[in-house]
Structure 1
Amino acid sequence: MDITNRRKKARDVGLCFMCLRDNHRGNNCKNFRVCGTNGCTKNHHKLLHCQQSPLNSNAQKSITKNGDTFGEPKQQQQQGFFTRKSQIALRTVPVVVYTENSRKILINALLEGGSTKTYINQSLAGELGLQGKIETVQVNTLNDKVQTFETMSVSLTVKSLYGQSQTEMDALVLDNVIGSLQTVNWNKYINKWEHLKGINFPFIDQNRAVDMLIGLDYATLHSSLHEIRGKAGEPVARLTPLGCVGQLDNDPQQISLFSTYFVNEPDDLDQMLKGFWEIDNSGLTIKEQPLTQIEQKVLKESEKDMKVEDGRYEVKIPWKTDPSNIPNDYEMAVKRLQHTEKRLKKEPNIEIAYTETIENYVNKGYIHKVPQDETDPVNKWYFPHFPVVRLEKETTKVRIVFDASAKYNGVCLNDFIQTGPKLQNELFDVLLRFRKYDIALVCDISEMYLRVGIHETNIIFHRFLWDSCEYEFSTLVFGVKASPFLAHNWLHRQTRN
């Protein structure tokens, strides 16, 4: 099917021109993409690219000096490049990218020694189905200026074309990492220079844009395993861990340009109006925050492990590393308990409230005493605990804090635990949704974390000392960094059921 019929078919069946799905329009598409085919900077899927006639296209102006031609782009873009006699020589190399849950995609990557960070195109992130946390990033640009913009941090695997090198990478997502600059297929030029003859450069797909810029945060991939040089000003063939790349040598008689700078497009009326309505509509719809691969994995495993045990939901702690490596902090817990007991002896009223709280936990089944004849496990963790006194509170004036961030031998319990994705709604959005209806209903779940049980294999890492006894929590504990995620995931499950 030719491009004209392809576009017509997509329009007739109501497909999004960005991702070719049928449940939304292009202006609402989350997989915002720049085409990139032959330098195309328009926003559409690559399969819908239509080659413009040179007479009708908005050709970029150019400036020629000493035989060198430099493009003058309509907007500044993040790029690192070298120009010489109308030819742009990028250190590009084909690589294979993929994630655990995606297909493998062959792309062009740029090895850019002028960038301290790695970037990928938004279109590639969409193809791989990557999601991550939104971050605010500052970029130092030309003339000591600083640009601030929002981007998304994602994780993916990069493998060399023939599989000799494989690297797990974190990258930031941009609309277009190197603008409209084109790649060079060095196999077309090897016969022009004697020293390049016989070198097997990997095939570069010049119809595909450069989708990835690999910065010096992965400096090993920039390293030169072997180089073949010619005369001054002639190209250099360099073997890197990702494959063989070509690069023009610096020639003092030529003008070279290495730059990394970011661009702000001027806001037109449509963008201003869109921004106005987005602000006005803020809070009326619940935003789904994109999840990183790790967060997706934690969420999936938590959903699988959650079960009802003795009339109560039970969850497993999402461990970051093997919990068998957790040290026994009994010594530290004893010292912290002695400090807490001295404080309580000075304030009898607080000591009474403290003791009543622990007894209440026992009566409700949140904690239990560890049997004295227990076979002592090698690895276990004790929470130091202390009171927080809020006399102005109408209900709980004395609250016990169990400190999961207390360090012993340089580590704490929270160091071994995944945080999990944030499932709470933003408070700002919740407050703004009060505009939606005349009447709002609110409720509170008393002792929410303590109503969610934990798996029996996790209990030994939730101990504490009190009154010459050892106790274990059989529930989530406020202060353990996975507790907010696990409690809200339980709440979502209850709501769905």
Structure 2
Amino acid sequence: MKCDCKRKLICDTCRFRHPTVMHYDKWKKENKDKVSTGIQTNLITENQQRIQSHAGAGGQCTLGIIPVIVRVKHRKASCGIKTYAFMDPGSTVNFITKSLMDKLGVSGRKERRTLETMGKPLDIDTHILTGLEICSLDGSNPGELVTVFSKDEMPVSKSHIPTQADLKEWPHLHQVYLPQIEADIGMLIGNVTPGAYTPIEVVTGPDKNCPHAVKTGLGWIVWGIVRCSTDRNHEVCNFAVERDKDQMVVSKIVEAQNLEDLFRKYINTDFPEKTIDDKREPSLEDKKFEESVKKSILYSDGHYTINLPFRRKEIQLPNNSEVALARLNGIKKKFKLNQTFYEDYCKFMNDILSNGYAEEVPSS
């Protein structure tokens, strides 16, 4: 059927022939611009707005986030990773980010668990880790984390980390030292690790509205600091009420976000074979390999060992001593013909032997 439409839709972003709403990056950028610039020019006008925020209008509140060292228990102390830990006494489990897992070189057992978040059950795919320990920045007071669950990211940002500058306004906290490190928030420590919360010293203020600090084996934890801020453009609010024409701007932002959600659901419904929200999942071969490694992995004499991940368990390797001997003679001939290759080969083998990466097979 021939289309005689004279006004074909042209995308305002890339100028190709599709509706602008089909250009996903356009919507993402448009929403961001409306929030950052539209609110500054249209919504932030004196005597024309009032913001109702669950976070309060006084400023941002810092949380109990401290720098620590996380490491695998049976490894050397030098193998620890510095990170920030969010001390959450309202949590009954410990969490670790997947990026920190990768840095530590651990994987754990993958399972699907149901967690309670704000009274609502949430099913997540997580890795369950054991054998991790946490200690202070100077390596003292190590404590084992019984069970740790993996999570993509922590429910807090680096802006919630208290700093030494936050303590200047409070004379009773001048003795408290808060070291700063270049790291992300990679851990959440819950009440399931009571040793991390055991107080050694407590510093309180002259009245009940002052922040206080608790010294633990991991360091100082400061609670109750609210930063006074006049920058309302960066205020965190969950609900905004505007008057007159400004309300139309807010409504359009919400409308655009809802439209994007509806469009994504439409794509997922019509094209289930290419879901827009898809995440890459391991293949059947990957799962078999992971299962084989997890069942056979052992730690002995400072080394990890695993079984060779063959597809079939009953496989029998042939006696290839003749092939190995022929290859050895070939290398020997190459040594005689190429002196540089011989020297490089000897240096490489001596290095891996001296570093303990390999060991010589005894003649017996």
Normalised to the residue count of structure 1, the TM-score between the two structures is 0.39
Q: Is residue 236 of structure 1 aligned with residue 212 of structure 2?
A: yes
Contact kept in structure 1, 2:68 and 2:85, CA below 8 Å? yes
Contact kept in structure 2, 1:95 and 1:242, CA below 8 Å? yes
Contact kept in structure 2, 1:92 and 1:110, CA below 8 Å? yes
Q: Is residue 163 of structure 1 aligned with residue 139 of structure 2?
A: yes
How many angstroms apart in 2 are the aligned matches of 1:168 and 1:204? 23
Higher RCO, 1 vs 2 (CA within 8 Å, ≥6 residues apart): 2
Q: Look up the match of 2:65.
A: 92
Q: 1:159 to 1:171 in 2, by over 3 A?
A: same
Q: Deviations over 1:397-452 (max 9, x none)?
A: xxxxxxxxxxxxxxxxxxxxxxx999797xxxxxxxxxxxxxxxxx9xxxxxxxxx
Residue ranges of structure 1 left out of the alignment (5+ in a row): 1-51, 72-82, 251-264, 305-419, 426-442, 444-487
Give the Å deviation of 1:90: 0.9
Q: 1:229 to 1:496 in 2, by over 3 A?
A: farther
Amino acid at match of 2:165: K
Q: 1:278 to 1:240 in 2, by over 3 A?
A: closer
Give the Å deviation of 1:218: 0.6
User: Which of 172, 196, 205 is matched with 1:221 structurally?
Assistant: 196
Give the Å deviation of 1:214: 0.5
Q: Is residue 193 of structure 1 aligned with residue 166 of structure 2?
A: no
Give the Å deviation of 1:209: 2.8
Question: Structure 2 matches for 1:110-129, cutoff 5 A?
Answer: 110-129=86-105
Question: Structure 2 matches for 1:57-456, cutoff 5 A?
Answer: 85-99=58-72, 100=75, 103-142=79-118, 144-155=119-130, 156-169=132-145, 170-180=147-157, 182-201=159-178, 203-205=179-181, 208-230=183-205, 231-248=207-224, 269=268, 273=274, 283=284, 287-289=288-290, 296-298=297-299
How many angstroms apart in 2 are the aligned matches of 1:151 and 1:94? 24
How many angstroms apart in 2 are the aligned matches of 1:271 and 1:180? 34
Amino acid at match of 2:129: V
Q: 1:177 to 1:184 in 2, by over 3 A?
A: closer
Residue ranges of structure 2 left out of the alignment (5+ in a row): 1-28, 227-260, 321-364
Contact kept in structure 2, 1:68 and 1:86, CA below 8 Å? no
Contact kept in structure 2, 1:113 and 1:215, CA below 8 Å? yes
How many angstroms apart in 1 are the aligned matches of 2:159 and 2:308? 40
How many angstroms apart in 1 are the aligned matches of 2:297 and 2:189? 25
Q: Deviations over 1:273-313 (max 9, x none)?
A: 2588979x964766432789996335999997xxxxxxxxx
Count of aligned positions: 238
Contact kept in structure 1, 2:112 and 2:125, CA below 8 Å? yes
How many angstroms apart in 1 are the aligned matches of 2:128 and 2:120? 23
Give the Å deviation of 1:168: 2.5
Give the Å deviation of 1:149: 1.4
Give the Å deviation of 1:204: 2.7
How many angstroms apart in 1 are the aligned matches of 2:286 and 2:98? 24
How many angstroms apart in 2 are the aligned matches of 1:302 and 1:496? 27
Contact kept in structure 2, 1:140 and 1:146, CA below 8 Å? yes
Q: 1:276 to 1:218 in 2, by over 3 A?
A: closer
Give the Å deviation of 1:246: 0.5
- The 3-state SS of whatever aligns with 2:192 is helix
Contact kept in structure 2, 1:133 and 1:291, CA below 8 Å? no
Aligned-pair identity (%): 19
Contact kept in structure 2, 1:195 and 1:229, CA below 8 Å? yes
How many angstroms apart in 2 are the aligned matches of 1:495 and 1:70? 70
Give the Å deviation of 1:200: 2.1
Amino acid at match of 1:174: K
Q: CA RMSD in A?
A: 4.8
- The 3-state SS of whatever aligns with 1:192 is coil
Give the Å deviation of 1:198: 2.5
How many angstroms apart in 2 are the aligned matches of 1:57 and 1:294? 53
Q: 1:98 to 1:235 in 2, by over 3 A?
A: same
Give the Å deviation of 1:234: 1.4
Amino acid at match of 2:136: S
Give the Å deviation of 1:103: 3.0
How many angstroms apart in 2 are the aligned matches of 1:93 and 1:302? 33
Amino acid at match of 1:216: N
How many angstroms apart in 1 are the aligned matches of 2:65 and 2:279? 41
How many angstroms apart in 1 are the aligned matches of 2:190 and 2:201? 20
Normalised to the residue count of structure 2, the TM-score between the two structures is 0.52
How many angstroms apart in 2 are the aligned matches of 1:161 and 1:277? 36
